[in-house]
Chain A
Amino acid sequence: MDIDTVKERAGPREFGPGDDMPREYREAATRMIQFHANSEIMGAYIERPFIRQAPSLDRKLAVSAQVQDEVGHGQLLYRAAEELGIKTREEMLDELEAGDGKFLNCFHYPLDDWYELPMIMFFVDGAAMRRQATLKRTSWEPYAHAIDKICFEEGFHIKHGEDILRTIATGSKRDRERLQAAFEKWWPRILQFFGPTDDQSTHGEFAMEVGLKTMSNDDLRNAFLNAYVPKAKKYGLELPEYPRVEYHEADDYYEVYEEDLDWEEFFTVAKNEYPTGVGQIEKRERAQAAVEWVRDAIESPEQGGVSPAAADD
């Protein structure tokens, strides 16, 4: 299929492994799905310590299940990406380990304590849900199929995240102050979740034309802003002075001054060069290197010596 035909036919769940897709499409889809899969893994990675730190048995169970779901989403997404025939799962995981795999900006920052957890589990997951909901209509069918399951489970995560937020927001004055501090720190990063503004987005236009993306970064960011400013207010959180957010009363509409966001930091993060992100990648690399022996042992046991069972044969 040539690229013009792809653009002409592009529509929800239009293409699958049975279609002869041009390389340009397959590469664009791989880039997008691999990014999403990597983000699930790195998101799980920064949330994991909060399984241990959860302050009740039920919370501990819920955070463990959530981290598990995210690894499961990564597994589904790598599979959907593999079907494009560009890279294998092993190659994508190796890239992530080596620091060449890209992932969401928010997962390059450390989560310092429980007060910061709802910034990820409610706001970032809420933002992810907004984007993912539009991807149910993406043109690569295996991606859309994975998204169906992801959205279903993500709904539970956000409910749990909101419950954590509510508990802290109705706690002591000190709790509320710490929550506000966490919000001020995370809010600008959360707004950058949707990526650069459309005029600076390198791959956005093509992805829209071939139906991989169905909504632009700017539209998604605005939709999120208008849904989540009221939610933040509901829990007593105040927007920081910057980035400025203007409320247009006539249209009941919030608008963010995108130039107030630190795009230099964003692009450093996006290149995997931001110090805390580099730290996360390196820690994960070490953790993966430490279990390399297991993969070696099960992939080529004969090199490590014969098994007693085999010796008896």
Chain B
Amino acid sequence: MVDGPEELSDRERAAVEAELRTLADDEFVVAERYTEWQVRGPTLEADIAIANIAQDELGHARLWYDLLEDFGYDQVDLIWERDPADFRHATLVELPFEDGDWADCVVRGYLYDTHEHLRLQALEDSAYAPIADRVGKVKGEETYHREHTQNWLERLAESRAGRERIQRAVDRLFPHALTLFERTDHEETIVDTDVRPEPLADLRAEWREVVSGFLAGLGVDVPVEDAAELLPDSRGRDGTHTEAWRSLYDEFTFTYRQLGRSEAPSLMPAPEEADVDV
């Protein structure tokens, strides 16, 4: 086990950083989109639930960004003054919602949460101890997210209108969901050094099996082609993004730039080991 960056070679440091950035950026950006549903959900209860989930994801982003701070960065480097082309989230999480397209929100949540569940399972055995230590807390909350999205999918699928909406969302989102499993330049080192013992290709195969089975049970078709045929032009993990990303980035950095700050106000102490033990 490795307890911190100082015990890593340069190659290993780059690998841990790459893994953490994809984890943190995914959580941060997916939450950013979820918050759009606050006060705009189909019911007050749905509003409150999606707000909970968004805050959980922001909390997880904070945990992963905090581990990146051990590598000498601060929040300003990692988010507020980072070049938008340096973000490594999957394109799935940055896509905008059409007005009222709650099916997109729950399908996206389902595809994302199922991926996260598998990825976290693999990271429970990470040789980089600070990652393995934090997985427990994140995984516990993700279980509730998956229940929430599955529950919604089942309810919507009971009507033809709902099922058609789900189908359209799956058709549109599935290729982008595949980018969750795209490799960074450091994938080989990540796997070889057990930062994440399971390769992305294996995780993707498991994910496709789970997702296809569940959605088929709802009467929804899932693409069967090879990932190479389905993947969108922008892959996220390599720094290429859809055009939605730049405007989202401009919006969430707007106040930061307007205030002309060089530090992000902090309200809470940095998460300590004690906070994340479960």
Contacts and interface: CB of A to CB of B under 8 A. Distances in A.
Interface in A58-90: 58-62, 64-65, 67-68, 71-72, 74-75, 78
Contacts of A307: 157-159, 163, 219
Given A64-B55, A294-B42, A114 B258 contact: yes
A302 B162 CA distance: 11
A298 B161 CA distance: 10
Contacts of B156: 294, 297-298
A58 B55 CA distance: 10
Nearest to B157: A307
B102 A113 contact: no
Interface in B250-278: 251-252, 254-256, 258-261, 264-268
Nearest to A302: B159
A58 B36 CA distance: 18
B265 A304 contact: no
B199 interface: no
Contacts of B245: none
Interface string B14-57: 00000000000000100010011011111111111001101100
Contacts of A284: 39
A202 interface: no
A74 B48 CA distance: 11
A1 interface: no
Interface string B224-261: 00000000000000000000000000011011101111
A265 interface: no
Contacts of A302: 159
Contacts of A67: 38-39, 51
A250 interface: no
A270 B51 CA distance: 30
B197 interface: no
B51 A65 contact: yes
A94 interface: no
A149 to B, nearest CB: 14
Interface string A100-113: 00000000000001
B39 A53 contact: no
A203 interface: no
A75 B44 contact: yes
A301 B159 contact: yes
Interface residues of B, number: 58
A48 B48 CA distance: 13
Interface string B137-172: 000000000000000000111111111010000000
A55 interface: yes
Interface in A263-313: 284, 286-298, 300-305, 307-310
A81 to B, nearest CB: 13
Contacts of B52: 68
Nearest to B254: A53
B252 A57 contact: no
Contacts of A59: 264-265, 267
Contacts, number: 172
Q: Mostly helix, strand, loop or mixed at chain A's interface?
A: helix
Interface residues of A, number: 60
B156 to A, nearest CB: 6
Contact of A297 (B51, B61, B162, B218): B162
Given A56-B75, A62-B267, A297 B159 contact: yes
A290 B100 contact: yes
Contact of A53 (B46, B157, B165, B255): B255
A48 B39 contact: yes
Nearest to B32: A52
A296 B161 contact: yes
A28 interface: no
Contact of A58 (B80, B101, B160, B267): B267
Contact of A304 (B35, B54, B161, B251): B161
A55 B159 contact: no
Interface stretch (A6-14, A167-175, A193-201, A204-212): A167-175
A45 interface: yes
Interface of A: 41, 44-45, 48, 50-62, 64-65, 67-68, 71-72, 74-75, 78, 113-114, 160, 163, 167-168, 171-172, 174-175, 284, 286-298, 300-305, 307-310
Given A56-B264, A57-B264, A71-B47, 11 more contacts: A52-B35, A52-B252, A57-B28, A57-B61, A64-B58, A71-B51, A114-B259, A290-B100, A300-B159, A301-B159, A304-B160
Interface of B: 28, 32, 35-36, 38-48, 51-52, 54-55, 58-59, 61-62, 65, 75, 79-80, 99-102, 155-163, 165, 217-219, 251-252, 254-256, 258-261, 264-268
18 contacts: A45-B39, A50-B255, A55-B259, A55-B264, A57-B61, A61-B62, A65-B55, A74-B44, A78-B44, A160-B267, A174-B260, A287-B99, A293-B162, A294-B162, A297-B162, A298-B155, A298-B159, A305-B160
